[in-house]
Amino acid sequence: MRIIMLGAPGAGKGTMSALMEKKYGIVQISTGDILRAEVKEGTSLGRKAADYMNRGDLVPDEIILGMMKNRLQKKDCSKGFILDGFPRTIAQAESLDGIMKDLGIRLDGVINLEVPQDLLIRRLTSRRTCSNSSCQAVFNIHTMPPKKEGVCDKCGSQIIQRDDEKEDVIRKRLATYDEKTAPLIDYYSGSDVFFSVPCIVADEAMDKIVERFKGL
Ligand code: AMP
């Protein structure tokens, strides 16, 4: 199964992708997670990407495309994948079409997660992330707080508010989404694998997705 998750920052792409990874046994590929790991390790790619990320801008297409071309050819993608946060521009979507054509594979689903803007802002500003780059567990101070304040339930590291999850950067990320990523809805909406799902409650969104993929 090969899936693209579309949706604004905070729509729940990461949460839904993780649920689908578990249910269908296919790998979740999050460009945001890959980039954050590169930044943390201080690689040359990470150094190039960090400023864009901290400002709430997109990392340039050529950096992302080189990275994803390699990633999609790794062995763990052979059974399928869920793309979380990629593509994010029309140019990336066109390149993905080319990469998939070269690999002789097709998409089975493009899932557009729909969430009202005020809920996106509330979700993003209340998000906290484990500072350990190999854990990166996500918490929410309202709906899913850690058992002990400031400490990751999974690995015991400190949990933090990411620089790109502070309010001014969040507003910029949402504006970037409207300008550069929302046009992907039109790009894919003519395809029979495209569908939209309200993502207010994750389990309910997941039920709708599972129903849609029955028989695949
Ligand atoms: P995310 O965790 O998916 O919201 O990604 C965090 C940040 O990484 C974004 O705000 C962008 O700066 C960058 N990023 C992630 N995926 C992409 C992409 N496909 N194209 C460009 N920039 C990206």
Cα(197) to ligand 1 centroid in Å equals: 22
Decide: pTM greater than 0.85.
yes
Cα(148) to ligand 1 centroid in Å equals: 29
Kindly state the percentage of the chain with pLDDT values over 70. Answer: 100
pLDDT tens digits, one per residue of 97-114: 999 999 999 999 999 999
Q: What is the pLDDT of residue 133?
A: 77
pLDDT tens digits, one per residue of 166-184: 889 999 999 999 999 999 9
Atom of ligand 1 nearest to the CA of 86: 19
User: If one looks up domain 2-26+79-212 in CATH, what number appears?
Assistant: 3.40.50.300
Nearest 5°: phi and psi at 10? 85, 0
For residues 31-53, average pLDDT: 94
Q: What is the pLDDT of residue 40?
A: 87
Cα-trace Rg, the chain: 17
Q: What is the pLDDT of residue 165?
A: 84
209 lines ligand 1 (CB under 6 A): no
Contact 85, 92 (CB under 8 A): no
Sequence-ordered strand ranges (E) for 54-108? 81-84
Q: DSSP for 103-152, please give it.
A: HT---SEEEEEE--HHHHHHHHHTEEEES-TTT--EEETTTB--SSTTB-
Q: Which amino acid is at 111?
A: I
Give dist(CA 6, CA 83) in Å, integer. Answer: 9
* Structural domain boundaries in the chain: 2-26+79-212
Cα(31) to ligand 1 centroid in Å equals: 6
Q: Which residues are catalytic?
A: 13, 88, 127, 162, 173
